[in-house]
């Protein structure tokens, strides 16, 4: 049973990590909390849905997913990146305001994204037409009931996060991004063309969010509120890890995702203990936030504690 919760936690954490990285990147470089980030995930998911509808039957399959799904994933990543960059150029960059003003603006942008999606696709839940898979047979005796789709989510997330790590540590762009997150004024003084780096940050952060949205739709289902509903959990992950730190966001996303999916265990535990009120799985987000607050009381800057 514990192994199954851990496996589900790993899948959900993969999605939260992808969302958290983008939010943290935007915070560290653009210096505001982007409340449209969850809806950027939704944009990616729906762009992939449309693409998959057009190319769904393309070629063979990997881990139970047709090649067309991976093409749709790339389109979802690209669409989220394009929408985010367009928003940055047309809105955030044009507005002469501080980080609070940008935060409020981003709430408005989130409403706009959601409204456009709802007008086009309606408010109902929908799914990718990839079929439902049986759990992987050889894992069932160990009490783990995960499908090949779940494995695909984890593997894809690991590939994307590893790619980001390589980019940050071993490329000029990555070093510039880390330098800007560390000290934007010194970055300009050093000759870094900060606007270009900021645009790349939007591309990467929103692209990862788009991927997270696609996987969230695969893990669960799609709806216009899917990203928004996850936003507070992603914020919790980013703050827990250390706001502004990409690696902290990865760690925070992993922990929050795990905590969320381990809730049935906590529920069983509280049911079994006398004098302790039962904590149902519907309180998963509350427990995640409680743990976040507890960690912040001990480490006010989050687990990672410093910029990227």
Partner 1 sequence: MSDAPDADGDADAADAGAADVAEPTHPGETVLALSEVDSGYGEVQVLDDLSLHLDAGEIVCLVGPNGAGKSTVLKTAFGMLEPWTGTVTYHGREIGGMAPEEIVREGIGYVPQTDNVFGSLSIDENLRMGGVAREEGLDDVIARLYERFPILDEKRGAKARTLSGGQRQVLAFARALVMEPDVLLIDEPSAGLAPNTADDVFENVQQVNDMDTAILMVEQNVTKGLDIADRGYVLDQGTVRFEGTGEELLADDEVSELYLGG
Q: How many Cβ atoms are within 10 Å of 62's Cβ, its own excluded?
A: 13
Residue 268 within binding range of partner 1, rule CB under 8 A:
no
Which residue in 132, 137, 141, 191 binds partner 1 (CB under 8 A)? 191
Nearer to partner 1, 56 or 305 (CB): 305
Q: At closest approach, how far in Å is the CB of 117 from partner 1?
A: 31
Sole binder of partner 1 in the list 190, 269, 271, 278 (CB under 8 A):
190
Check binding of 37 to partner 1 (CB under 8 A). Answer: no
Residues 146-175 contacting partner 1, CB under 8 A: 172, 175
Which helix (H) or strand (E) segment is 210 a member of? helix 194-219
Return the number of the residue (145 or 175) whose C-beta is nearest partner 1: 175
Instruction: Name the residue nearer to partner 1 (CB basis): 134 or 195.
Output: 195
Residue 222: strand, helix, or coil: strand
Nearer to partner 1, 162 or 183 (CB): 183
Distances (CA, A) of 7 to 117, 193, 212, 289: 32, 43, 17, 22
Nearest CB to partner 1, comparing residues 174 and 227? 174
Q: How many amino acids of this chain bind partner 1 (CB under 8 A)? A: 25
Q: Which long-range contacts (CB under 8 A, 24 or more apart) does 64-69 make?
A: 64/130, 64/131, 64/133, 64/147, 64/148, 64/149, 64/152, 65/130, 65/148, 65/149, 65/152, 66/130, 69/128, 69/130
Residue 89 sits in the site that holds partner 1 (CB under 8 A): no
3-state class of 58 per DSSP?
coil
Query: Which of 82, 103, 136, 179 touches partner 1 by CB under 8 A?
Result: 179
Separation CA 82–CA 181 (nearest Å): 22
Query: Whose Cβ is closer to partner 1: residue 245's or residue 261's?
Result: 245
d(CA 161, CA 151): 15
Asked if residue 73 binds partner 1 (CB under 8 A), the reply is: no
Instruction: Choose among 28, 38, 33: nearest CA to 234.
Output: 38
Residues that bind partner 1 (CB under 8 A): 172, 175-176, 178-179, 181-183, 185-197, 199, 306-308
């Amino acid at each position: 049973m514990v192994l199954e919760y851990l496996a589900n936690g790993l899948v959900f954490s993969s999605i939260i990590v992808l969302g958290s990285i983008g939010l943290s990147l935007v915070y560290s470089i653009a210096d505001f909390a982007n409340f449209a980030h969850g809806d950027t995930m939704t944009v990616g998911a729906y762009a992939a849905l449309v693409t998959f509808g057009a190319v769904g039957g393309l070629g063979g399959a990997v881990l139970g997913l047709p090649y067309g799904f991976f093409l749709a994933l790339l389109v979802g990543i690209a669409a989220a990146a394009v929408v985010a960059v367009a928003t940055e150029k047309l809105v955030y960059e044009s507005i002469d305001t501080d980080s609070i003003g940008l935060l409020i603006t981003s709430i408005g942008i989130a409403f706009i994204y959601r409204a456009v999606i709802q007008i086009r696709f309606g408010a109902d839940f929908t799914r990718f037409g990839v079929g439902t898979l049986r759990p992987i047979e050889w894992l069932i005796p160990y009490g783990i009931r995960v499908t090949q789709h779940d494995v695909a989510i984890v593997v894809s997330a690991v590939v994307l996060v590893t790619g980001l790590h390589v980019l940050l540590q071993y490329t000029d762009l990555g070093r510039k991004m880390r330098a800007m997150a560390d000290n934007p004024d010194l970055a300009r003084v050093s000759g870094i063309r900060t606007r270009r780096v900021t645009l790349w940050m939007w591309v990467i952060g929103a692209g990862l969010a788009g991927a997270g949205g696609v996987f969230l739709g695969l893990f669960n289902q799609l709806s216009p509120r899917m990203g928004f509903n996850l936003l507070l959990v992603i914020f919790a992950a980013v703050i827990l890890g250390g706001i502004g730190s990409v690696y902290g966001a990865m760690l925070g996303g992993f922990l929050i995702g795990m905590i969320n999916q381990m809730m049935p265990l906590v529920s069983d535990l509280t049911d079994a203990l006398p004098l302790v009120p039962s904590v149902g799985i519907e309180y998963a987000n509350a427990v995640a936030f409680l743990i976040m607050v507890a960690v912040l009381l001990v480490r006010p800057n989050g687990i990672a504690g410093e910029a990227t």
